[in-house]
Structure 1
């Protein structure tokens, strides 16, 4: 007989195999279903766990040198995109834990239903359980189950009584209306049935003396934090239950060269060496990986990095570091980089149009640039809850992991765009008008009032970026995107704005980008040629002169969230929120074309008379 084969000795504990619970696109892991968000899979609900529990052994690495240094990481990783046989994946945990049975109306923790193994069913009714529609969360990102017992017993217990009655909770819907009044909660202890009406009031939970529990269920083994914030009731699928904080950057020279990405794993070692050491290191690297690098080029890159770090804005915190990123992009977009000076690996090509731009001079446009190739990296830095992300609002950033990691989830997109810049001298002269300053001051005051209402402390109220220059550029970008969506064949949701607006910048980049390596096919760049851009710009301004909601729109004293818009509505200049950097805020088309009473307010009013 053949002897049995020798048994292999186990070298370690077998990796636990978790069942697959659905899938989402990679881009959604950054913008929609990132860490801390709740995902509905069939009739179940889960919360996405922190990046320290992800399996990303097969996930590609993304390098964007400038953004990584600002965010304090070494690199970025694409969220896993794998099949059922792969070990890659994002872990999730069941949340919320309170469920109800639509047949027997039982409302309790999911583990008390005695569900069969691998199923989410009521053990008595064999009916699929329904996750709680409601959760409670605070502005610091903590989230927990809604306190159903305290809500139902709020008028039937003593102030000092913290125990439970021992009864069983019930939840049913009367069906009379679609409001919260029809969602009814009862208990077998005999209390009167109560509805969920009023649960979403700002002080509803604090009136019950329900305090934030400091729970972070998306982080494994995370300690409970002490929190003084008042929790709010939210719907599980509400947009304010999870809002991503995404930081972006364009790849610009010298870091846009495709060969530079091959050196990214070695920068930490190269920074510690002198010129001779760098040359020896590169020779060894060439023998090992069959790459050829120039020591002079590496030294020049390190010098450029030191020059960026020595900038005056770097000393004033992360906000100014992000502004510095924009200024570097602005300068490079003005300078350009012709296609003749690049190769196929280069990720940035920007050059002036072939035809003369003299036809744009009456409109105050200076030097349009055609960005024929661009790469943008979008990294998920953190997320927020409850507080709406507005322009530079000082919201709390909830962490993606228990301990800081040396990477962040991100995605890269390839595309093209058109860069436009306004004549700064003409812009400053126009902004000095009393009527222009009055309209902008109205927007600014409304925005500051909203920021004060949402600030946790009076000392932490951020300044509003609203200025005549910024509002004008922002509204012009919206008008052009709407026009190109009609004339160029691009859906408005596929175009994005990137504003460069402060005392030293007056430009905007309108781009389209996809996650495909080929990007787009040049249709947007063709729209930037002056012979096409001039009639498109004129058509956009003429279209902005009239809105179907006028005269209410143009005479508005404040519209949008917090009244931070003036003449702006969905019938004229508002865009899909994926296209706008400022959540459709800080807009006023009167600054483009003026008002019927005072056309001089419009920056382009004289050009439209020609």
Structure 2
């Protein structure tokens, strides 16, 4: 588990970097009981820097990378994950100054002689910092509340309270006022914009309609829940002038016109402001799903070529020794070896020629900014999948694989009853997946991280990180490859159908609505996956549902990796899918999934999955679903009853699914669509 915050440090929100241990080192006694923790996978996809993490009593926001540095500086060794193929992609997007991929800073386990809080994980700030008292409805900023957390082994008890809370009831005449200590909860309303800024809602300005209170400089506010039947949302009331205003007025397009017209450019995770933000703020609730979208890239580690080995060594030297030191001693390889040994870089087996090549690569000047921007504009995420696809096409290399790459695959025999259009089966006995965070967006999720580069929220104050958070997972899987000639012939048929035209039009409508203010910069037709992707994606989902009943893992633990793109002048076409499960511990997974690649078990599983896909408890509604204007859903004959998977399993959020591409379904209405695997009766 990765520890999230130290209790007392959360009360600070200064321009300095968060450093939970600095005061303790100076002899200041502090309450450092734990308040929360999270797994690296959730910090990667759900609660990374800039996201809001709900704790039992309040919410925190993991800080930017600048605030992680004090944690690393206190440790004798800063670990790195060496994967040149992924690092090259990160440097393309964030700049050549990125020289390392680092794991999340785990908090060391407490030993018998250690002290609580001797080291920490990821620092965080309390956010939102406006709270509402549950006893009297008082609404105020964080300093008006008291933080309590005295039990070192009960992080769930950490909370903010309102001391001397008078409660809601009326006091009897002449009786002393009742005082109590009531728990406080975060106020739910926030302001955000498409440039990724996030700010507190201006409650005082809102209730006074943009002016100051006529009776008090800093009036007390109350947030009262609306009674059922009166209005939607809460009502803000000024205790001094008795002005009231409903939060329902701030919702929707009309409500946006009543909000401040200029964004302040605030980044709470960096404790910083951007100047001159030209986007209009919009109301958003604290738990909204569009508050934070992670921009990540991931690869499966493959056996490295000689060039990749040189690149990997150059990256280690650049990160550990620095370019200046490598340049100073470039001609003294023995001294370079001594420096590397001092930094725990193992050069055993590295010849002088290989070391000299790595040093030369370190000293090679990076591309100019203009060249980098040109490459970035032309970059396609498929480029990360191409090396994996090409390796899987060369079974002669499988017996020569090296365990150091973390990948072990085995070409499997096809079962005699396996559908003829599944041409190959590969058992992935062991695999290693590396995932890196490049940034995040708010309000709109980008299909590609290079869509609108300016909208990618920075992870550091200067916007030029020298490293990015990365996770390393191990697991197992099964790779299935379809007959590419059959896929191409089927795809050419689908392109001319009315169903495909309806999906294309729905995608255009969805794209412009989903991307709102930034959609005009991207052509939606370039982001519509080809019919073969819909086919592979639908097949992957029905197999995940079927495999979950036999492999020993829950369906939410299985993930997909789709290799589906048509042939272009620069790359060959692909038609395959990988269903895998990964875990962040050192042992990986247990073998239950890869065992399903055995020919007899797999052919029965595939047949059963396709037969289940031919029927849905929502048919005929599901089987006849075709989007038409103004509908903009990105699926056809697919729903929660037959095809949808959990968000941890699907790489496209249950978009681009249609059972009619798998099988020829009866009674679909309109034009008949040929399924790739024919009819269910022929299985």
Q: How does the TM-score come out when normalised to structure 1?
A: 0.84
Report deviation, 1:193. 3.5
Question: Which residue pairs with 1:248 in the alignment?
Answer: 298
Any residues of structure 2 matched to 1:225-304 within 5 Å, and which? 225-254=275-304, 264-266=315-317, 291-294=348-351
Select the residue among 649, 653, 663 that pairs with 1:579: 649
CA contact (8 A) 1:56 1:88 kept: no
Question: Which residue pairs with 1:490 in the alignment?
Answer: 553
CA contact (8 A) 2:506 2:632 kept: yes
Structure 1, unaligned runs of 5 or more: 1-11, 155-160
Aligned to 2:468, what secondary structure does the other structure show?
Answer: strand
Question: Is residue 551 of structure 1 aligned with residue 610 of structure 2?
Answer: no
Report deviation, 1:152. 2.5
- Distance in 1, matches of 2:134 and 2:543, equals 50
Change (3 A) 1:278 1:562: farther
Question: Is residue 129 of structure 1 aligned with residue 179 of structure 2?
Answer: no
Change (3 A) 1:502 1:99: same
Change (3 A) 1:258 1:493: farther
Question: Which residue pairs with 2:467 in the alignment?
Answer: 407
Once the two structures are superposed, residues 277-317 of structure 1 have per-residue CA deviations (whole angstroms, 9 ceiling, x without a partner) of 797678768987572224566789999999xx9xx999642
Question: Is residue 373 of structure 1 aligned with residue 424 of structure 2?
Answer: no
- Distance in 2, matches of 1:414 and 1:530, equals 24
- Distance in 2, matches of 1:287 and 1:210, equals 57
CA contact (8 A) 1:249 1:378 kept: yes
CA contact (8 A) 1:375 1:415 kept: yes
CA contact (8 A) 1:26 1:79 kept: yes
Select the residue among 269, 274, 287 that pairs with 1:224: 274
Report deviation, 1:43. 2.1
Question: Which residue pairs with 1:163 in the alignment?
Answer: 212
Report deviation, 1:112. 4.1
CA contact (8 A) 2:426 2:480 kept: yes
Question: Is residue 79 of structure 1 aligned with residue 104 of structure 2?
Answer: yes
- Distance in 1, matches of 2:372 and 2:612, equals 40
Question: Which residue pairs with 1:157 in the alignment?
Answer: none
Question: Is residue 433 of structure 1 aligned with residue 493 of structure 2?
Answer: yes
Question: Is residue 456 of structure 1 aligned with residue 517 of structure 2?
Answer: yes
CA contact (8 A) 1:258 1:345 kept: no
Q: How does the TM-score come out when normalised to structure 2?
A: 0.76
Count residues in correspondence: 583
- Distance in 1, matches of 2:312 and 2:576, equals 29
- Distance in 2, matches of 1:201 and 1:227, equals 21
Deviates more, 1:440-449 or 1:195-204: 195-204
Aligned to 1:431, what secondary structure does the other structure show?
Answer: helix
Report deviation, 1:88. 3.4
- Distance in 1, matches of 2:292 and 2:360, equals 40
CA RMSD, 1 decimal: 3.8
Select the residue among 63, 78, 94 that pairs with 2:82: 63
Change (3 A) 1:415 1:304: farther
Structure 2, unaligned runs of 5 or more: 1-23, 92-97, 109-115, 151-158, 166-180, 567-572
Question: Is residue 100 of structure 1 aligned with residue 132 of structure 2?
Answer: yes
Report deviation, 1:533. 1.9
Change (3 A) 1:287 1:578: closer
Report deviation, 1:80. 1.9
Question: Which residue pairs with 1:466 in the alignment?
Answer: 529
Change (3 A) 1:313 1:570: farther
Report deviation, 1:382. 0.8
CA contact (8 A) 1:440 1:466 kept: no
- Distance in 2, matches of 1:66 and 1:198, equals 50
Aligned to 1:369, what secondary structure does the other structure show?
Answer: strand
